[in-house]
């Protein structure tokens, strides 16, 4: 099924109208998905779209700003260096509970995830200050394998690509006449993702569309492992159910 850009743009426009928002803020990282979402937002509400950029290292940030300029997107530069500062301040307090002298891999990863969460907190501040909605760039493939941080990239108001797989996102990029530089970056990021997890988005799309028999057994097992490991990221907070034995007040 080919997803039509005008249908998603109409949906975005309806959400802006229904909520009484004044515009949309896109979490913009220069990826093809971010370019697609930005274009869809522009189709929906024209000049009422902002790109929130950062944090990135100096080289990446310059490239992302250049891509925003190509799309004629006004930019809000999110300075999230505070995430590192907060982590530094918390380290001494956490030391008394650590079971080892060196930070664990999980602790190192937590610092990186904190930057993502602080970035989203800053974007939400911008959006709420301007009465805008936050628009995310995750697609169905990302959501399936947990390619996001809990309370990070999902902390948005709208996720227009949430039912689209990466192949459909690329098709939208062509439909929207996205500049070639975005498509080149998509190829580079696709190679990096494949090298990291040993999967291509074609593997994932075949699995999601036709089931585990559509891919090699080893590939199916890897996808299912990623899905299991990321279940907690996708799940809402747990609350005690009727079987918890709680005594009514």
- Domains observed in the chain: 5-196 (3.40.50.620)
User: Chain centroid to CA 6: how far?
Assistant: 22
- Reduced to 3 states (helix: H, G, I; strand: E, B; else coil), residue 246 is coil
Task: Over range 80-98, report the average pLDDT.
Answer: 62
Lowest mean pLDDT among 12-26, 35-49, 174-188: 174-188
At 133, which helix (H) or strand (E)?
strand 132-135
Structure tokens at 176: 């929207």
Of residues 246 and 45, more confidently modeled: 45
pLDDT at position 135 is 97
- On the question of pLDDT at 82 being above 80, the answer is no
Confidence of residue 191 (pLDDT cuts 50, 70, 90): very low
- Asked if residues 38 and 176 have their Cβ atoms less than 8 Å apart, the reply is no
Cα–Cα distances in angstroms (integers) from residue 126 to residues 13, 14, 130, in the given order: 20, 21, 6
Within 13 Å, how many C-alpha atoms sit on residue 193's CB side?
A: 20
pLDDT at position 55 is 66
Place of tokens 């959501």: 143
**Average pLDDT over the chain, rounded to whole?**
82
Question: Which one-letter DSSP state was computed for residue 158?
Answer: B
What share of the chain in percent tops pLDDT 70?
Answer: 78
Confidence of residue 50 (pLDDT cuts 50, 70, 90): very high
- On the question of pLDDT at 57 being above 70, the answer is no
Confidence of residue 176 (pLDDT cuts 50, 70, 90): very high
- Asked if residues 50 and 76 have their Cβ atoms less than 8 Å apart, the reply is yes
Using left for φ > 0, alpha for ψ between -120 and 50, and beta otherwise, residue 131 falls in left
Express each pLDDT in 120-170 by its tens digit. 888 999 999 999 999 999 998 888 888 888 888 888 999 999 999 888 999
- On the question of pLDDT at 93 being above 80, the answer is no
Structure tokens at 14: 């309806």
Q: Where are the beta strands (DSSP E) in the chain?
A: 23-27, 49-53, 75-77, 132-135
- Asked if residues 38 and 67 have their Cβ atoms less than 8 Å apart, the reply is no
Structure tokens at 86: 């907060």
């Amino acid at each position: 099924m080919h997803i039509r850009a005008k249908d998603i743009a109409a949906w975005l426009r309806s959400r802006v109208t229904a909520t009484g928002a004044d515009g949309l803020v896109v979490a913009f990282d220069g990826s093809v998905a971010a370019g697609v979402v930005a274009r869809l937002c522009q189709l929906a509400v024209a000049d009422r779209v902002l790109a929130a950029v950062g944090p990135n290292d100096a080289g990446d940030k310059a490239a992302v700003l250049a891509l925003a300029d190509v799309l004629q997107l006004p930019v809000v530069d999110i300075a999230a260096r505070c995430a590192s500062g907060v982590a530094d301040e918390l380290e001494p307090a956490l030391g008394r509970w650590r079971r080892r002298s060196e930070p664990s891999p999980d602790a190192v990863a937590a610092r990186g995830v904190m930057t993502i969460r602080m970035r989203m907190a800053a974007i939400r501040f911008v959006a709420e200050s301007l009465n805008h909605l936050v628009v995310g760039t995750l697609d169905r493939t990302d959501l399936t394998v947990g390619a996001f941080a809990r309370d990070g990239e999902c902390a948005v108001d709208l996720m227009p690509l949430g039912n689209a797989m990466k192949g459909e996102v690329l098709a939208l990029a062509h439909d929207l006449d996205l500049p070639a530089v975005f498509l080149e970056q998509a190829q580079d990021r696709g190679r990096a993702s494949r090298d990291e997890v040993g999967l291509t988005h074609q593997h994932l799309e075949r699995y999601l569309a036709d089931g585990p028999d559509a891919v090699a057994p080893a590939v199916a097992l890897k996808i299912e492992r990623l899905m299991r490991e990321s279940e907690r990221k996708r799940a809402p907070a747990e609350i005690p159910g009727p079987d918890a034995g709680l005594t009514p007040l």
